[in-house]
Structure 1
Amino acid sequence: MRDIRLLAEPFAPYALVDDFTQAHPGLGGACTFVGKVRGEEGVEALELTHYEPLTLPGMENLADRAFARFDLMGLIMVHRVGLMRPGEPIVCVSAAARHRRAAFEATDFCMDHLKSAAWFWKREKRATVNGGEWRWIEPRDEDHADLARWSDEGTVARKNSPV
């Protein structure tokens, strides 16, 4: 099963994951990451915009790379766009594999790419900053460092890994 989507409306990530794991009866494990809008420091809203001709094809390409790199049975990559409030899910990535390491690594690989090298522009509105005005959010240095781990030399769990 492969489920790669952009959504403009709220979604229930755990319902997606439940259906996903049920669709893979021989899986050894699934690893899931759900990212949510943080509500600390006065965050009132988060808005993600994207360039439609690149975003979904880019996510599909990322899924292709994950399947080529890791021994996966399935992958979910669902990402919200539009206006979101604190506590709402932004992203759900779940990888199913016969062995746990492939599921862990594929989920981490996809999230690192979505966080730092994806086709989204993110801004937030905080009540405590600039009188409630919107401000753009850029990837942090840590996000770029996480992405750099996936160079060919830094790969931990390659396809057909015995772990």
Structure 2
Amino acid sequence: MTVRIQTEDFDLGAETLVLREANRAVGALACFVGTVRDINDGSSVSAMVLEHYAGMTEKSIESIIDQARERWKLIDALVIHRVGELKPTDQIVLVAVTSSHRTEAFAACEFIMDYLKTSAPFWKKESTPSGERWVDAREADDAALARWGVRSTNAQSPTD
């Protein structure tokens, strides 16, 4: 399991190649890449700033990967999450999971991503024509996490 929080971009091909070649039992690799949109809630977005608590964020993500490993037969998992200022089309997050079979890889990848969207200690601030605004988790994201039997902690902005 690898969790990295970083400002620099990542190379999807290079990261997934390492996972595929690390173990000959890998029969499936499922991954998700999230990117910055140029519009959110009806407003154009020129930039997004992501903040986190170093150390706490990594431990939180490692914990959810451990939960995924308890639910599915996984070989490995990788989460890379960027912080700092990002522009539309920039990559934000990579969740990649390997297993012997696709069912486990798909489910675990989705489970980890649902957690990241709602409960991981990240805070997003968007720059819009009306000024800056903090972005809260959506009810749909909370519902996605709830279907796994996990309750959202719905982290608040650092100013709350």
- Tell me if 1:117 matches 2:105: no
Is this contact kept in 2: 1:72–1:97, CA < 8 A? yes
Aligned to 1:139: 137
Aligned to 2:96: 94
RMSD, aligned CA: 1.4
Aligned to 1:23: 22
For 1:134, the aligned partner's letter is E
CA distance in structure 2 between the partners assigned to 1:14 and 1:30 by the alignment: 12
User: 82, 85, 90: which is aligned to 2:84?
Assistant: 82
Tell me the SS of whatever aligns to 1:55: helix
Flag structure 1 segments of 5+ consecutive residues without an equivalent. Answer: 153-163
Quote how far apart the aligned CAs of 1:3 are. Answer: 1.6
Aligned to 1:60: 62
Tell me the SS of whatever aligns to 2:81: strand
Q: Give TM-score scaled by structure 2 length.
A: 0.87
Q: Give TM-score scaled by structure 1 length.
A: 0.85
Is this contact kept in 2: 1:24–1:96, CA < 8 A? no
Aligned to 2:7: 8
Flag structure 2 segments of 5+ consecutive residues without an equivalent. Answer: 151-160
For 1:17, the aligned partner's letter is T
Quote how far apart the aligned CAs of 1:26 are. Answer: 2.0
For 1:80, the aligned partner's letter is R
CA distance in structure 2 between the partners assigned to 1:15 and 1:86 by the alignment: 22
For 1:68, the aligned partner's letter is E
Tell me the SS of whatever aligns to 2:29: strand
- Tell me if 1:72 matches 2:74: yes
- Tell me if 1:42 matches 2:44: yes
Task: Tell me which moved more, 114-123 or 32-41.
Answer: 32-41
Higher helix share: 1
Deviations, residues 39-96 of structure 1 (Å, cap 9, x unaligned): 2352111111012241111111111111122100110111111111111110000110
CA distance in structure 1 between the partners assigned to 2:18 and 2:38 by the alignment: 29
Aligned to 1:156: none
For 2:140, the aligned partner's letter is E
CA distance in structure 2 between the partners assigned to 1:3 and 1:30 by the alignment: 15
Percent of aligned positions that are identical: 37
For 1:78, the aligned partner's letter is I
CA distance in structure 2 between the partners assigned to 1:34 and 1:14 by the alignment: 12
For 2:122, the aligned partner's letter is F
